[in-house]
Amino acid sequence: MPDPCSYDYAILRIVPRAERGEFLNAGVILHSSEQAYLKSRVHLDQNRLCALWPDLDLELVQPHLEAFPKVCEGDPAAGPIARLSRRERFHWLVSPRSTIIQVSPVHSGVSTSLDQTLDELFQRLVVK
């Protein structure tokens, strides 16, 4: 069995109306300095989001949400942020913002399989 390593994660949220305190979980970012790991998975449940905000332009939100995994991967198409170090990218991704896409506080854990942990968090916090 692999040695356990520590990780940090945050949840990506779509916040259509901040004043109402409503949001929809739309992704997870997982980072481990020990394992040089930074990945994100996203999913936009359009039906649930339209129930919260019927006038939302989904074609505007989707590309911004899809930028998170690209920044995690260091994809050059994601712009200058993708050229930062893995640690700097994580801190930039989880920094507070006041846009439609916001990030939860950062949480920590320990895992022996970061890919499995990312999948479990994604399934539990976003898909279900």
Instruction: Mean pLDDT check: name the lowest of 14-18, 26-30, 68-72.
Output: 14-18
Residue 21: the pLDDT is 81
Q: Is the pLDDT of residue 127 over 90?
A: yes
Say how many residues make up the chain: 128
Bigger pLDDT: 128 vs 33: 33
48 within 8 A of 24, measured Cβ to Cβ: yes
Q: Looking at the predicted structure, is the pLDDT value of residue 17 above 90?
A: no
Identify which has the larger pLDDT, 96 or 18. 96
The residues, any chain, with a CB within 8 Å of residue 10's CB and separated by 6 or more, are 28, 29, 93, 94, 103, 104, 105, 106, 107
| Number of independent structural domains in the chain | 1
- Which residues span the domain enclosing 15? 5-127
8 A C-beta contact, residue 90 and residue 38:
yes
CA distances (Å), 57 to each of 3, 37, 49, 114, in order? 45, 33, 10, 34
Q: What pLDDT band is residue 22 in, cutting at 50, 70 and 90?
A: confident
